Amino acid sequence: MVMQIETVDILDEFIANRSPEMREKLVLQSVPLVHYLLARMGITQELGTDYEDMAHQGLIGLIEAVDHYDPKFNTRFSTYASLRIRGKILDYMRSSDWMPRAARKRTRMIQKSITTLWAQNFHEPTEDEIASHLGFKLEDVQQGLADSNRILVSLDMMVEVNEDGDGSLHERLRDDKQLDPSSIMEEGNLIEEMGSAIKNLSEREQLVLSLYYTDELTFKEIGKVLSITESRVCQLHARAIISLKAMMENE
């Protein structure tokens, strides 16, 4: 369940008359959803102007959601708006290439290393094993895993057409009027495969995924539950997602 932010009276009134005044009220009351989703994506205000730029893109996505929402979609406004907001942020991050090239290269090396080690050893590699395989320091591996969340390694980015991440589930589902039945079937098969693969992760990583995707806590909130830092949660989440992808590629 995504964050519930709509006030039914305002939403109903806006749908009924589409007045500029009700549009503004609906947008303003929905702004917290943008910041909630940024937090869920591991994007914090520590990024400074980068955070502000992404929040701005999220706001554009929110406005688009308000303008295009139709109750005939048979989905809650907050669910529809979340897809629009997240998609706008994803598009911006891909197009702006905001992460330093060295950091992006490191994350890709770590992701490829995890895939290689899974294929060789048939178990999830530890951070020490990844460091040894790449000739990296342990802290570099941990930083690279944390950075992976900032290039949006996530369950809804698992289906990719190419290395740049084109073809994500978001892009499959972005049609305002109709979902492609083949995409729905593919998403269902993917979820089933991931359910089986998740059982091969460590208990702590399974818990992180459950708290994040089922309970929809932010990384900061998960850190409080597990008594670890937000950065460590980011690392565990990234390693879990990369490991899932490696397992599914090796099936």
Q: Percent of the chain, pLDDT > 70? A: 78
2 found inside a domain: no
Spell out the per-residue pLDDT of the chain, length 251, in tens: 454 555 567 888 898 889 999 999 999 999 999 999 988 887 878 778 888 999 999 999 999 999 999 888 788 899 899 999 999 998 888 787 667 788 888 988 998 999 899 889 888 899 999 999 999 999 999 989 888 776 655 665 554 433 444 444 444 334 444 445 445 445 556 667 777 788 888 899 999 999 988 888 888 899 999 999 988 998 899 899 888 888 877 66
Regarding whether 137 and 91 lie in a shared domain, the answer is: no
How far apart CA 7 and CA 49 sit, in angstroms, is: 31
Regarding whether 158 and 90 lie in a shared domain, the answer is: no
Regarding whether 120 and 49 lie in a shared domain, the answer is: no
Q: What is the per-residue pLDDT for 248?
A: 78
Regarding whether 174 and 119 lie in a shared domain, the answer is: yes
- CATH for 22: 1.10.1740.10
Q: Percent of the chain, pLDDT > 90? A: 37
Q: How many alpha carbons fall within 13 Å on the CB side of residue 87? A: 22
Q: What is the per-residue pLDDT for 250?
A: 67
Which of 47, 69, 96 finishes a domain?
96
37 found inside a domain: yes
What is the overall mean pLDDT for the chain? 81
Which of 61, 96, 131 finishes a domain?
96
1 found inside a domain: no
Three-state secondary structure of 158-222: CCCCCCCCCCCHHHHCCCCCCCCHHHHHHHHHHHHHHHHHHCCCCHHHHHHHHHHHHCCCCHHHH
Q: What is the per-residue pLDDT for 170?
A: 40
How far apart CA 67 and CA 14 sit, in angstroms, is: 10
How far apart CA 11 and CA 23 sit, in angstroms, is: 9
Q: What is the per-residue pLDDT for 178?
A: 44
Q: Which of 129, 150, 165, 204 has its CA nearest to residue 40?
A: 150
Regarding whether 169 and 124 lie in a shared domain, the answer is: yes
Q: What is the per-residue pLDDT for 157?
A: 56
Q: What is the per-residue pLDDT for 101?
A: 81
Regarding whether 154 and 68 lie in a shared domain, the answer is: no
Q: Which residue segment(s) compose the domain that 134 sits in?
A: 101-249
Distances (CA, A) of 49 to 52, 55, 90, 251: 5, 10, 17, 42
Q: What is the per-residue pLDDT for 160?
A: 42
Which of 55, 74, 96 finishes a domain?
96
Q: What is the per-residue pLDDT for 39?
A: 85
- Look up the pTM and report it: 0.69
How far apart CA 215 and CA 200 sit, in angstroms, is: 21
Q: What is the per-residue pLDDT for 54?
A: 92
